[in-house]
Structure 1
Amino acid sequence: MPQRSLKAGVPLASVALLLGVLVVQVFPALPRGLVLSLAVTGLGAGATACWLSRRARSLGWILFGVAWAMWRGAAAMDARLPHALEGEVLLVTGQLLDLPDPRADGTRFAFRIDSARLDGRQVAWHGRVRLAWYDPSRVLRPCERWQLRVRLRRPRGMIDPGGADTERTALERRIDAVGYVREGGDNRRLGASACVDRLRLHLAASIDARMADPHDAALLRALAVGDTRGLDPDDWAVARATGVSHLLAISGFHVGVAAAFGVGLVWPIYALFPGLGLRCPRSRAQAAAALVAALAYGLLAGMGLPTLRTLLMIAVAVVARSRRRHLDGRHALAMALLVMLLVDPLSVLAAGFWLSFVGVAFLMLCLGVQGRSWRTFARELVRGQWVMSIALLPLTLWFFGQASLVGALSNLVAVPVVSLLMVPATLLAVLALLLCPPLAAPMLALAAATGHALWWLLARMASWPGAAWYLPAVTPWALGLAMLGALWMLAPRGTPCRWLGGLLFLPLLLPARPPIPAGGFQAWVFDVGQGLSVLVRTHRHAMLYDAGARYPSGFDVGAAAVVPSLRALGVRRLDLLMISHGDNDHAGGAGAVLEAFHVPRRLAGEPSRMPMPMAPCVAGQSWHWDGVTFRVLNPHGRPSHDNDRSCVLLVEGGGDRLLLTGDITRRVEGDVAAGVPSGRPVAMTVPHHGSETSSGAAFIAALHPALAMVSAGWHNRFGHPRPAVVARYRAAGVPLLNTASEGALRLDFPVDAPVRAWPGERLRQSRYWRER
């Protein structure tokens, strides 16, 4: 292909292919079997026909992208654990992948299953899984082969507004199942082999052994080998608040520094042996050395998306140089995008894909090389941070629901310090650790001292007012307008009225839903697995009833699901936090909620079991917000059973009513039913997640709820809701909704109309990778 045709065709082809791949990502389901084969064949034929016509070539790439993404997506979904094997105990053999993550309660690790047996019979399934082994004494190393007895399930996550989509992440990372290791004599190590991850672990341990400060060691491990296991949630909170998360692991720019390091190694060789230039031009040797150095560093990094994008760009430049062709950065980026989509179309599901390619594209659009003086470098560095802050703001809010107001300033300091001081020093230290370990000490000391000072500054910047900026969930149309506004604002000089582009960012500030009228209210029953958390909002007030669980592993549902949901729904302040009782699945996430929001009033059914001060919740308490009345119906005195001390709350507006029941049992259900005045219909949460000890027939008959909602975990070990309980509600004609199967539930209580239950978030956010 002529060079002029290449320059014109590659960008169009990459964009067209991207559009085709993106079309598939909004499909609620993919065709299967014969239908999939016919669809791919038809689209392939259409793409071929379009390819033969120059004018329709872009359409051909789009059709090819649709077919390619459908085929790869279906193959990835078919590779997941068969439903028939969920919950079964399998005897598997395979190999550890990546770096195991040891914690206080055990070790988390990736494992490639090569063979599996069920009850002595071979099972025709293999795949990549994420496992937890709850035995802190076990020491696991990368690339070891093990025989393990495991219990697995398909990757299924909680679906909430603003919450992380773990099912999408599992598909993008090819995680076919998750589970845990069961103790037993069958678990045994089979052997080990050499691999890059084993080298990464060795280098990480070498850095640890030479560092006095564990936090300094964690920062250097992240830069040297992409090992972020030593960074705790507080570290990531500082990074998010200052917008430097991309610097905590090996980024694309760091790989570029490694490539420049490779170029620098070639220069003295040609200076000492100039005759080499007659056999191999120095430019070609430098390009090859840059690729080798970048590839080596990328392998140490774990080959993330930004790393792979940079490697592809370097590879394109090397190939172009070897063929004596000149490709500028924009065409190299387009070629990297094209190759990335051809290799892995599912990479578009990752936030890193968009932040990486869009960020580099805007930098190439807005920055240019206008000299090599330090003043020009300083000016371009400042402009670069301004460009990245504006260009990536909409995408950051879309993917993470937050942005950093100090990000431009903190990156202006952190980027040159990390990329020009810490990364080169760390690279030299890694090279020394491999060739002559004693020489690594001064380089590690320099990188550690620099990182220590930088983190001290970033931690203080993270505490500045407004450092972390949260907005309600971004709608697709608001995202599109904001990206158009960024393109307009950062357009070349001479573009008319560039400042007007800032107006297109304003829809990001608009709430996704209309305000609640006085006398009406809204409730969200969040999907928190085996637990409970309910948000109740009136015209100007908001309260949270329960906050989900916090597990010994450190996973906090309050921080992972409840707080992001509150922020995505636009809640800026909670007027009341009510914890029904002290059980972990209701109270465990309260600490994360109180850390994220100012809550002036706190009530609990068992304040003595709470780790923070809370006032007691007692029957008879009541208050009024915006024409809505809140009344506490339980506990009466001090019941003997912990669950019966649950706060029971009745919310009454101008229309239907809501009853929040906690974990009460049949012992007190009669008293609660007697406290609910007859009249308007009631929607209620099913007591104790549908346990046999609750939801007696008399209780259901007395209330005859218009709607009942179960908050339970998918295939939870308690069997909630119990079949007998479900049968009682069905026999009474009560519609039953379950967060386990439908995700978070939204209920609107209008002033002059019946309660309206919207489709659950699992149905509303229906995608082909969603578990059903």
Structure 2
Amino acid sequence: MRTGMMALAVGLLAPVFLPALPPVGLLLVLPWVALMLLPFRSYPLAFFLFGFVWAGFSAQMALNDRLPSRLDGETRWVEGRVVGLPQSAEGVVRFELADARSRHDKLPSLMRLAWYAGPEVKSGERWRLAVKLKRPGGLLNPDAFDYEAWLLAQRIGATGTVKDGQRLAPAQWAWRDSIRQRLLAVDAQGRNGALAALVLGDGSGLSREDWQILQDTGTVHLLVISGQHIGLLAALMYALVAGLARVGIWPVRWPWLPWACGLAFTAALGYGLLAGFDVPVRRACVMVALVLLWRLRFRHLGAWWPLLLAFNGVLLMDPLASLRPGLWLSFIAVAVLIFTFGGRLGPWRWWQTWSRAQWLIAIGLCPVLVALSLPISLSGPLANLLAVPWVSFAVLPPALLGTLLLPIPYVGEGLLWLAGGLIDGLFRALALIAGRWPAWVPTTMQWWVWALGGLGALLLLLPRGVPLRPLGWPLLLVLAFPPRERLAEGVADVWQLDVGQGLAILIRTRHHTLLYDSGPRFGDFDLGERVVLPALRKLGVEHLDLMLLSHADVDHAGGALAVAKGLPVSRVISGDPPGLPETLNAKACESGRQWQWDGVAFHLWQWADGHDSNQRSCVLQIEANGERLLLTGDIDSAAERDLLNSALAVQTRWLQAPHHGSRSSSSMALLKALRPQAVLISRGQGNSFGHPHPTVIARYRKQGIHIHDSAEQGAIHLQLGRFQPARSMRQQRRFWRDPPLPGAEYR
């Protein structure tokens, strides 16, 4: 049976790794094949097929519930009910709308909406809203967070922006939102947001600095409700009943073990309902239930059995949970503890058990974090060694008890005041640790390098005395220092990052790195910090020899400060230095300046008579082995005419579309003079500027130019000097990603 359960788990996971889902007809046939295998005792294959079919159908239903393509970008009046906990920050209200209905169109059952400068929205309210609808999607960059996969795992079928609306009915059964409002209103020594995160799982009240501290110290799981909190509460309830029975206080006529297990599960379930009972919480409740059942009736089967059953139980409830990193981190962490503690021969003191558990989990999760492209906290074992007992035994009891006793004057508020002070002290300590040891972002590496690191972690988890165990450390360190493939002389590696309505292009030669523009910043939404800087680190960039900002507009230079703060930058050049922050110390673009890096030639140009920032964009030509790329910023047709009188007016294979393909740029004269074979367009999907303009696209196609559009393809990668076609992130097929539209990559 255990083999069958393992086969079921593999079947439930298999569809997530496929580039496309199998046809529905095949999914209808496979269950009958599985049933026919049962009489022949082919249980593993039959269980695999059952799991594969269920996961495939679940994923297909989620895809079918997405917004139809014909409604993408359309504005519709919809009615629906607000669910979850709405979030409000920087003048933007974000919430989820369930059971949405439109008069003429079928809509997804769950949508995620944003309302700029919108009114207060409460959970449980019914609204009629004018929404500009959008199919699920997100920015696609190398080894970055896949927002589209996250939306699918949440079963969100559409996103949108609210233009107008009216409340139809007040909130009903919104007790979680009411509790949140009470938590935010009490005096918690400035840590109300952290209390709401700990009690309700609502992390919207945590500041960006708080999140960074938690990430750097590997303690996110402590402040936002996780399986650890639910397991801890269940363990405390179990220990309370067991302790009462041990000292003879528990009633003899009530068997203590069934009561301990029952009350522990009740406590876990109640905490889960308080936290919204989303997927991570459901996962924790299933694990707690199976562990208690194992303790009650099946302890003789060993510790691996409940872990396997819990894993299958979670995936049977929601096969798309495998798209969430939390599933892998929580189950593998438990597996590491079972593997290491189950094989030890001698007893350890309690402090040895606790400290070794932290280090063993850190080692075991290291390859998993690398595979999931997540930061690795270097201080995590030390921070958790101190923070876990602090949160578990000092913070959590007064936080939960204070929330429960809020109706009693002064008592609940006093407990929450105490919990807030304890959280504040914790953050101060974690900030000191994070400032000394920030999180490490591993670079992209080949699969065999990751496999060696995984083998090293496995060897280190083995008991002492096992042969070859000392090889674990050098193998694990391969993850920190992976072998890098150096570029050949005369070749430039180019990435146009997917930054929405903006521009950021990375150029690397054998020994040098240049960033042309730094992505946009709109309010506190800084894509230089959220996209460009993580992408540079993932690609192994440790410093920038030059950051060239074409001009000062926020869609091109908005992320410059974040990049300069996160990486050493030797020099900053811009076509419009006065429009940039003084701290960048930007120098003016020197038109006509040329230099070479590792056999690759660079040439700057700027229109001397430019009247605005766009026209003064600093243009960069890159030539490698006779193959040229021209980066144009936001120049218009007037600047293009002057460009044609310069040394850059030569045949150019790759052209970055001037001004994102606006109607005022990409003149026919420019295209005929440069004769580009391909054009790179960087823009946001459904942007309000209408970029690229249809007349410009028609102009490109008339000239037979290949079009590479970041909104349709994500980040685009090419190697200048090799005369090879470009590749895009969307070519890495995943079943939840729409394929590139016709015309986005070819003629």
Taking a change above 3 Å as real, the CA distance of residues 425 and 53 of structure 1, as seen in their structure-2 partners, is: farther
Q: Normalised by the size of structure 2, how large is the TM-score?
A: 0.93
Which has the larger displacement, 342-351 or 649-658? Answer: 649-658
Give, in angstroms, the shift of residue 646 of structure 1.
0.7
Pairs within 5 Å for 1:23-172: 23-31=14-22, 35-36=23-24, 38-54=25-41, 56-117=42-103, 121=104, 123-136=105-118, 138-172=119-153
Residues 401 and 568 in structure 1, CA contact (< 8 A), matched pair in contact too? no
Deviation of 1:366 (Å): 1.1
Query: Structure 2 counterpart of 1:446, which letter?
Result: L
Q: Residue 15 of structure 2 contacts residue 56 of structure 2 at CA under 8 Å; is this kept in 1?
A: yes
1:233 maps to 2:203: no
Of the structure 1 ranges 264-273 and 57-66, higher mean CA displacement relative to structure 2 is found in 264-273
CA 426–370 in structure 1, closer or farther in 2 if over 3 Å, else same = farther
2:496 pairs with one of 500, 519, 525:
525
Mapping of residues 187-206 of structure 1, within 5 Å: 187-194=166-173, 198-206=174-182
Q: Does 1:622 align with 2:594?
A: yes
Read off the aligned partner of 2:591 and give its amino acid letter.
A
Q: Judge conservation of contact 1:162–1:564 (CA < 8 Å) in 2.
A: no
Q: Distance in 2 between matches of 1:579 and 1:344?
A: 46
Q: How far is 1:128 from its partner? A: 0.6
Of 469, 485, 489, the match for 2:460: 489
Q: Distance in 2 between matches of 1:748 and 1:292?
A: 59
Residue 762 (str. 1) matches residue 734 (str. 2)? no
Q: Quick check: 154-163 or 554-563, which moved more? A: 554-563
Contact 1:13–1:58 (Cα < 8 Å) also in 2: yes
> Quick check: 413-422 or 610-619, which moved more?
610-619
Task: Give 1:514's aligned residue.
Answer: 485
Q: C-alpha distance in 2, partners of 1:681/1:192?
A: 61
Deviation at 1:640, TM superposition (A): 1.3
SS, match of residue 402 in structure 1? coil
Query: How far apart, CA to CA, are the structure 1 residues paired with 2:252 and 2:131?
Result: 59
- 1:391 pairs with 2:364: yes
| Aligned counterpart, 2:425 | 453
The answer as to 2:195 corresponding to 1:209 is no
Please tell me the residue identity of whatever aligns with 2:212. Answer: A
Q: CA deviation at 1:437?
A: 4.6
Distance 1:512 1:139, change over 3 A: farther
Q: Judging changes above 3 Å, is the alpha-carbon distance between structure 1 residues 673 and 258 closer, same or farther for their aligned structure 2 residues?
A: same
- More displaced, 247-256 or 508-517? 508-517
Shift of 1:468: 2.1
**Unaligned segments of structure 1, at least 5 residues:** 1-8
CA deviation profile, 1:447-478 (whole Å, cap 9, x unmatched): 233222221111111111x5322221244444
Matches within 5 A, 1:354-373: 354-367=328-341
Contact 2:651 2:675 in 1 (8 A): no
Alignment CA distance shift 1:676-1:97 (3 Å): farther
Partner secondary structure for residue 624 of structure 1 = strand
Residue 535 of structure 1 is matched in structure 2 by 506
For residue 317 of structure 2, what is the amino acid of its counterpart? Answer: V
Residues 746 and 757, structure 1, Cα contact 8 Å, conserved in 2: no
So what's the TM-score if we normalise by structure 1?
0.90
Change (3 A) 1:495 1:308: farther
Give the Cα separation in 1 of the matches to 2:278 and 2:349: 31
Q: Which residue of 2 is the match for residue 605 of structure 1? A: 575
Measure how far apart 1:47 and its partner are.
2.3
Q: Summarize the Cα distance change of 1:749–1:88 in structure 2 as closer, same or farther, 3 Å threshold.
A: closer
Structure 1 residue ranges, 4+ long, deviating more than 6 angstroms after superposition: 267-275, 369-373
Which whole-Å deviations, capped at 9, do the CAs of 1:58-91 have from their partners, x for residues lacking one? 2222222221221111110000011122222222
The 1:370/1:18 distance shift into structure 2, 3 A limit, reads closer
Q: How many residues align?
A: 737
Identify the residue that residue 219 of structure 2 maps to in structure 1: 244
Query: CA 1:512/1:148 → structure 2, altered by over 3 Å: closer, same or farther?
Result: farther
Counterpart CA distance in 1 for 2:182 and 2:441 is 39
Mean CA deviation greater in 642-651 or 253-262: 253-262
Residue of structure 2 in register with 1:410 after alignment? 383
Label 1:461 to 1:728 Cα distance change in 2 as closer, same or farther (>3 A). Answer: same
Q: Hey, what's the Cα distance between the residues in 1 that align with 2:298 and 2:249? A: 21
Q: CA deviation at 1:620?
A: 2.2
Separation of aligned partners in 2, 1:251 and 1:499: 35
Counterpart position of 2:643? 672
Aligned twin of 1:18: 9
Deviates more, 1:386-395 or 1:302-311: 302-311
Shift in alpha-carbon separation, 1:730–1:510, aligned structure 2, 3 A: farther
Q: Residues 692 and 569 from structure 1, CA distance in 2 versus in 1: closer, same or farther, beyond 3 angstroms?
A: same
Name the counterpart of 1:6.
none
| Aligned partner letter, 1:313 | M
**Of residues 709, 713, 717 in structure 2, which corresponds to 1:742?**
713
1:560 aligns with 2:541: no
Report the alpha carbon displacement of residue 39 of structure 1 after superposing the two structures with TM. Answer: 1.0
Tell me the equivalent position of 1:291.
265
Distance, in Å, in 1 between the alignment partners of 2:652 and 2:247 is 90
Query: For 1:85 and 1:326, how far apart are their aligned partners in 2?
Result: 57
Structure 2 regions of 5+ residues with no counterpart? Answer: 740-747
User: What fraction of aligned residue pairs are identical, expressed as a percent?
Assistant: 37
Q: Which amino acid aligns with 1:762?
A: R
Q: C-alpha root-mean-square deviation of aligned residues, in Å?
A: 2.6
The answer to whether the 8 Å contact 1:99/1:109 transfers is yes
Counterpart contact for 2:373–2:442, Cα < 8 Å = no
Aligned to 1:662: 633
State the 1:320 CA deviation: 4.8
State the 1:131 CA deviation: 0.5
Partner of 2:399: 426
1:276-327 deviation digits (Å, cap 9, x = unpaired): 543x422212211111111111122233544333311222244456667755
Partner residue of 1:3?
A: none
